[in-house]
Amino acid sequence: MRGIYTSVNDIRKRVYAEVARLSYEYQDGDLSEMENIPYRVIPGEVSTYRESVFLERAIVKERMRLAMGLNLRDVTEHAPVSVGAEECVQPEKYYQPPLINIIKFACHKCPDNIIHVTDICQGCLAHPCKEVCPKKAISIVNGRSVIDQSKCIKCGKCISVCPYGAIVRQERPCAKACGMKAIGSDEYGRAEIDQDKCVSCGMCLANCPFGAIADKAQIFQAIQAIKSDVPVYAAIAPAIAGQFGPELTPGKIRPAFKALGFEDAIEVAIGADLCTIEEAKDFVEEVPEKLPFMATSCCPAWSVMAKKLFPEYANCISMALTPMVLIGRLIKKQHPGCKVAFIGPCAAKKLEASRKSIRSDIDFVLTFEEVRGMFEAKEIDFEQLEEMDAMHGASADGRGFAVSGGVANAVVNCIKKEYPDREVKVEHAQGLADCRKLLQLATKGKYNGYLLEGMACPGGCVAGAGTVQPINKSTAAVNLHMKVSTNKHAYESDYSEFLSDIEE
């Protein structure tokens, strides 16, 4: 539902804005203002979205806690929302699992995988649905088709033969979007995430029409760091192109983030260039002599999925550091003692940054949606900002990491620079369900010698769970940003000389 501004998006934005405002105004250990926020987000006496205004506010309270990086409370607990919230004021607070959470009393208990006859049924004379059903689960009652759910095996044959398209498969949206098949039901019929399977891609979050799924955020902590004496740099992912509308031009990105209190903004695509150089080098040295194929590493949900489902091929995932980590190290090398906040489209990046091996490189991860709340809290008008030098230095290929196929394209271009006669075969997939199929075929030998690119989100990073614009519109904006790049390919990077230093 990205690109359609719904009531779910509106509530999320207002919660993020209120949490950001709370952090900007926070002082002297007083978090009592948290108690008033649900009444500002859900004003009045009459419910707008659900059966009770009290339920709406209860959901907002849990959203607030998640937005502050706190755990959900058990529904049986009774305490003011601010109780225990002082935990979020810790100067170094990393995500405590689980990152993706279901607010149980917000879940609609959607039916899952049900074959259903709709009112479009015309009670036709042929009734082919009944004839093809292998379990005789369909009968004709009062001239209409009726399915006995106790007999139905969900094969879908009736769906394919109905001349009116009157039979549909009803699926739980979050489960349908989950390429890891990590979502089931609890004893009350509410959605439940199997954390052993979950890779925190956030597709369930982005596709729940009831807004019952949310991830934890570091808005409060990042703003506290900004207010300190330590400079905080914003590392901006290339998918930012067009995310905040046409008013936030490339020349206004740095002023906009400075207005939030950041020291400056630097594009992660510089790190993408460095990642490209490393992956190209690894591919040439290891495929096919040492490895049957090599898979890209920049998408954390894709790489974690690969290691979970195909552990025996874990060594086939590129060992190159991701663009986020590389740019974090580069910024901290150039500005010792600073902090770095990665600003991007991805929920899974939060999980990547929480790894002990990466915590010293990236201090905070914020999504575009969360940053939109910060802009709202500070009442920043993009049109009033003055243009300044745009973030520069990255290649077109590095900026292309934001869209499906962009990573592999960048690596191939880099290889061809040094080995113009070498053929590099490429296959890529987008969405974890297709990524799983790609790897299944690769483990069977179908893609020996190939470079494989996987993107957990359909469309690439521009479709991440933390984006706010339509995917096609964002893709077009990224392509436009690529065209104005000073350098075309990663090997032209002005920062390649730092690669050996920041990899250590």
Residues 342, 278 share a domain: yes
Residue 156 within a domain:
yes
User: pLDDT band for position 108 (50/70/90)?
Assistant: very high
**Do the beta carbons of residue 72 and residue 185 sit within 8 Å?**
no
Residues 311, 411 share a domain: yes
Residue 502 within a domain:
no
- Name the pTM for this structure: 0.94
For residue 155, what is the domain's CATH number?
A: 3.30.70.20
Could you read off the pLDDT of 457-482 as tens digits, one per residue?
A: 999 999 999 999 999 999 999 999 99
What pLDDT shows up at residue 91?
Answer: 66
- Other Cβ atoms less than 10 A from the Cβ of 453: the count is 27
Residues 26, 55 share a domain: yes
Residue 504 within a domain:
no
Kindly state the tokens that stand for 206. 């982005």
Residues 96, 12 share a domain: yes
Average pLDDT, the chain: 94
Residue 500 within a domain:
no
What pLDDT shows up at residue 197?
Answer: 97
Residues 82, 62 share a domain: yes
Residue in 42, 90, 89 with CA at minimum distance from that of residue 62:
42
Residue 70 within a domain:
yes
Domain of residue 128, residue span: 114-170
Residue 1 within a domain:
no
**Do the beta carbons of residue 377 and residue 468 sit within 8 Å?**
no
Residues 266, 208 share a domain: no
Residues 61, 119 share a domain: no
CA 415 to chain centroid, in Å, comes to: 29
Residues 163, 216 share a domain: no
**Do the beta carbons of residue 463 and residue 347 sit within 8 Å?**
no
- How many domains is the chain partitioned into structurally? 3
User: pLDDT band for position 1 (50/70/90)?
Assistant: low
Bridge partner residues of 395 (DSSP): 487
Buried b (16+ CB within 10 A) or exposed e, 11-27: bbbbbbbbbbbbbbebe
Could you read off the pLDDT of 262-288 as tens digits, one per residue?
A: 999 999 999 999 999 999 999 999 999
